[in-house]
Chains A and B, each alone.
Chain A
Amino acid sequence: MNFSEVFKQSNQLCKVSPDGKYLATCVQYRLVVRDVSTLQILQLYTCLDQISHMDWSSDSLFILCAMYKRGLVQVWSLEQPDWHCKIDEGSIGLVSSRWSPDGRHILNTTEFHLRVTVWSLCTKAVSYIKYPKACSKGIDFSRDGCYMALAERRDCKDYVSVFVCDDWHLLRHFETETQDLAGLEWSPNGCVLAVWDSCLEYKVLLYSLDGRLLSTYSAYEWSLGVKSVTWSPSSQFLAIGSYDEKVRILNHITWKKITQFEHPSTINNTKAVVYKEVERRPVVSDDLSLHNITVGTTLFNTQSKYEICPLPVQIPVVKPDPDRANPKIGISSLAFSADGRYLATKNDNMASVAWVWDMQKMNLVAVLEHTSAVKCFQWDPKHPRLALCTGNAKLYLWSPAGCVSVQVPAEGGFQVQSLSWHCTGDSLILLGKEQLCLCYMETEQEDK
């Protein structure tokens, strides 16, 4: 495992191009494009204001930089650095900006979600979509890039519009049986749209591509409901994480629950392996000579490693404040591995623990407990390997063979806030507060 040197970035904006060749980062109002393997700067672009959002087009030829405060979007070309494009939303403001799947249209959501403006870079034409819904996930593109589903709200009722991304033709428009639609997501095969209600009502609706309601699922009433939803890569399963600390798995044939995964605070009677991160306090020798202090930055980087705990294990639970909204309890993160074999979950009131479930046997495989709250985890796009970070200077990796914690060798303490895998699974991008670092995986170092 090799670590690159540390580079600057701002706003956690750092993305690898879809073809995996380039790495784009934003530093204040500059856009820096590097080669992924050599990390040499290939291009440098300057935008008009601090960049709030940056994204690659699907063909890796263009990058959009959105500046929400100014209501501007600038598009840069990798092939022709002289080419420029500036989209000004005017006084209507800008709240979010994204590419269409063909990489030739930009969808801007205006302030107050008044409308979605579709700009075409081919024809300079503009189209508007009215009444978009302001919710956590109101727009989703199907994986093959053919269709876009958009949540709308008119007259206190929720609707879903399905557009054909080719020419933005409205294919279907139907009302949904939700009280307050919170999100929608296409299945990976693009045939089913999952729509879920806000947390005040547990309701997950499944619509076919042509707008028919296939099934409704509601596990219970009254208590706070759905917190997170994700599809398995084969579209076989839909995993629903809710505020009652359980994950329910629905199958794609009957849309009924086939199993539920619980996250108890005491683990016993399971075949899973429980890893606990154990810190090793640095040994402070009596002679605090200068040599020792400079040589041993271990004073500030506490060594830690995973230890296997025997059952029964008690997991630290933090009870959320009952008076506050969106309580820190329930399954907030769900992710399937690339082969769909494993599911990783995180329960918010046991924030330092990540759980890994086996989808073939439908049982718990591993529990990883850390010293601080898990900030982010992501599966390797090629192999069954999970990378986690908890806001300290370590990178944690789990695979079925075992798990390991690696210190990120950077001076001045690099605190890993989030991470993302390169599309080939050969390297990881670690993002700190203002820094970024690449980690190259060479050999399989997954011994325990």
Chain B
Amino acid sequence: QPTPLISHATMSPSKQNNLLSMYSSLSLSKSSYSVISAFCTEDNIPQCISYINQELASLGLSSTCIEASSPGAAGLNPVPALNATYELLQIHRRTMCSLEELEREQLKKSSTLEHVQMNNSRLKDQLELSIREKSGLHEMERQLQLKIKTLQSCLKTEKDEVQKLQNIIASRASQYSHDAKRKERETAKLKERLSQLLVDRKDKKLAIDVLNCLGRSDGKRSHWKTAKAAASHEGEMYKSLLSDYEASQRSLMLENAELKKVLQQMKKEMIHVLSPRQPSIRGATADDSQEQADSDLEDRAGDSSRGSLDKSCEHAREQLTNSIRQQWRKLRNHMERLDSQASQVQNQLESNKDVISRETHEDEMERMRREVQQCKEFIDAQQQLLQQQLNTSFDDETAALLNDCYTLEEKERLKEEWRLFEEQKRNFERERTNFTEAAIRLGREKKAFEEDRASWLKNQFLNMTPFTDRRRCSSSDGQSALSISKSFLQLAMSQETTHALNRYFQLLPSGRRFKSQVKAKSRLRCGDLSIFSLGEDENSLT
């Protein structure tokens, strides 16, 4: 029952209320003596004593212990009790001192802690502030750097510009000074010449000395300069200008017509390309509008005969170009759609197809590359050959050698041909000698033949008598004349002369019935011997 107050007295925790609680407890203890005396009563003195001794022992005061004045008596031995009390009071005082000290310490410490905390918070605020300031300054610095950069680049461009202008000025200045010097030199020369002329005073007259005047190059007489001539010149000039303009206008018109045709064609084709894929109403209306435009065009083209020609043509042109643009846009959109579709489809399709197409594509590329390489090599070889051909014989030995190798084949061929040529030449020589010999022989034989013939004819004429006895003796002569046969001629006798001979023999008077046929076999073969023979056997003299 008394413990709650004691416990309150010894276990007062709070620092600020400590003294207060102490005084309060003390005052409480004084006023509530009755409460403390509740601990020890008349009855429990020995227990109280033993308890107090235990407590004193636990406190380390084993030296003093309270004893009863007499065993079983209700009083205490005063000396140990007073000692114990004194010691307790000492302990208490000491404790109070230390407590005071501790409290003082604690106060101090709390105040310093407060101070430090305050400082801390203040410094934290400062830190935050300065960080914010720093970031702000950073930002400013960055902007300033940027500004510096732009200003520097501006400065550079300005400097470049200035440099360029300075260069221009310098070049212009040097050009001006050069021209000015030239003009000055010229005026100096002029002044010199003028002074020279003024001094000299003998002016060399200008004159022309011609042997005789020439005619005009176009042969006409020269005309007087009249107003009519001037007008005709003007007319000529305008004519030539006009013809030039007309020519250019014609060509431009042709070009224009061509281009219009091309555009029309393009338009038609674009419509054709687009229309089957756009069966929608929009397409139909577009086509309708196209057809409308077309018919408009034709109408307007037909209108050209009436006035406002230029306007209508321009209008037509505008319409045409607008319609082309429209169609082209549609076509482009369509193509884009197709492209996207195609790419989708490609992704879905098997890769085989792609690989094949790519393969073929790459094969083509390889083939073309090879071709190009071949062509390049060929061209190089050609260039080399050409240079070799054009170079003089003072080449390197290797080049000369190469030349030789190249022409060796040709030389061989040439040698062969020379050989053939020599052979043929020899053959021809042989034939020629034969021919000349034959000609000589022919000449002789001919002469002999002629003589023979003459004599035979003479005989014939002389024997052209009705008398038959004489005839027999002359025919033998005739026969000998005709038997100029196989031994000689190596010439071909022309068919005409043989025919002539035939005719002559046939023309003889039929009474004589002298018939003979001269068969001339003439065979002409190149390089061969040709034989002319009179068929003896066919001769029949009756």
Contact = CB atoms under 8 A, between A and B. Distances in A.
Interface string A103-115: 1100000011000
Interface in A141-178: 146-147, 164, 166-167, 169, 171
Interface in B139-159: none
A104 B210 CA distance: 12
B193 interface: yes
B33 interface: no
A323 interface: yes
A319 to B, nearest CB: 12
A371 interface: no
B244 A191 contact: yes
Interface in B200-227: 200, 203-218, 222-223, 225
B255 to A, nearest CB: 10
Contacts of A82: 211
Interface string A188-226: 011100000001100000001110000000000011100
Given A124-B208, A209-B241, A406-B390, A169 B225 contact: yes
Contacts of B240: 146, 190-191, 209
Interface of B is mostly: helix
A83 B244 contact: no
A147 B200 CA distance: 40
Interface stretch (B19-27, B104-112, B228-236, B442-450): B228-236
Nearest to A110: B206
A28 interface: no
Interface string B368-407: 0000000000010011011100111010100000000000
A104 B216 contact: yes
B217 A59 contact: yes
Interface of A is mostly: loop
Nearest to A89: B206
Nearest to B230: A169
A112 B218 contact: no
Contacts of A40: none
A92 B382 contact: no
A208 B237 CA distance: 11
A402 B197 CA distance: 60
A104 B216 CA distance: 7
Contacts of B204: 71, 88, 90-91
Contacts, number: 158
Contacts of A298: 394
B51 interface: no
B131 interface: no
A85 interface: yes
A117 interface: yes
Contacts of B209: 84-88
B178 to A, nearest CB: 3
B488 interface: no
A119 interface: yes
B253 to A, nearest CB: 13
A448 B208 contact: no
A248 interface: no
B238 interface: yes
A15 B208 CA distance: 25
Contacts of B233: 164, 166, 169, 171
Nearest to B224: A167
B206 A283 contact: no
Nearest to B383: A448
Given A84-B211, A121-B210, A407-B392, A222 B216 contact: no
A297 B394 contact: yes
B170 interface: yes
A404 B383 CA distance: 9
Nearest to B393: A295
Contacts of B172: 200, 222, 224
Nearest to B179: A325
A324 interface: yes
Contacts of B387: 305
B356 to A, nearest CB: 32
A112 B186 contact: yes
A83 B211 contact: yes
Given A167-B222, A297-B394, A298-B394, A210 B178 contact: no
A138 to B, nearest CB: 15
Interface residues of A, number: 70
Given A122-B215, A191-B241, A85 B208 contact: yes
B174 A122 contact: no
A323 B244 CA distance: 46
B418 interface: no
B189 interface: yes
A83 B234 CA distance: 37
Contacts of B385: 447
A445 interface: yes
Could you say which interface size class chain B belongs to?
A: 35 or more
Contact of B213 (A123, A210, A253, A324): A123
B38 interface: no
A326 interface: yes
Interface in A41-55: none
A260 interface: no
A264 interface: no
A90 B208 contact: no
Nearest to B181: A325
B455 to A, nearest CB: 65
Interface string A53-94: 000001100000000000100000000001111111111110
A404 to B, nearest CB: 7
A224 B238 contact: no
A11 interface: no
B368 to A, nearest CB: 16
Interface string B462-501: 0000000000000000000000000000000000000000
A447 to B, nearest CB: 5
A311 interface: no
Contact of B386 (A102, A117, A448): A448
B233 to A, nearest CB: 5
B50 to A, nearest CB: 119
A129 B332 CA distance: 66
B386 A325 contact: no
A111 B230 contact: no
B171 A224 contact: yes
B383 A447 contact: yes
A126 interface: yes
B197 to A, nearest CB: 6
A4 B177 CA distance: 48
B178 A121 contact: no
Contacts of B190: 112
A155 B238 CA distance: 31
Contacts of A384: none
Contacts of B222: 122-123, 167
B208 A88 contact: yes
A84 B390 CA distance: 47
B386 A169 contact: no
Contact of A283 (B211, B234, B238, B396): B396
B167 interface: yes
Interface string A400-411: 001010110100
Interface of A: 58-59, 71, 82-93, 102-104, 111-112, 117, 119, 121-124, 126, 134, 146-147, 164, 166-167, 169, 171, 189-191, 199-200, 208-210, 222-224, 252-253, 283, 295-298, 303, 305-306, 322-327, 402, 404, 406-407, 409, 445, 447-448
Given A224-B171, A325-B177, 15 more contacts: A58-B217, A88-B209, A103-B217, A111-B193, A121-B210, A122-B214, A123-B222, A124-B213, A147-B237, A283-B396, A324-B178, A326-B175, A404-B386, A448-B379, A448-B386
27 contacts: A84-B210, A93-B193, A102-B217, A112-B186, A122-B214, A122-B222, A126-B206, A126-B208, A146-B240, A167-B229, A169-B225, A171-B233, A189-B244, A190-B244, A191-B241, A209-B241, A222-B168, A224-B168, A295-B394, A297-B394, A322-B167, A324-B174, A325-B171, A325-B175, A325-B177, A325-B179, A327-B171
The 4 closest A-B pairs by CB, nearest first: A325-B178, A90-B206, A90-B204, A191-B244
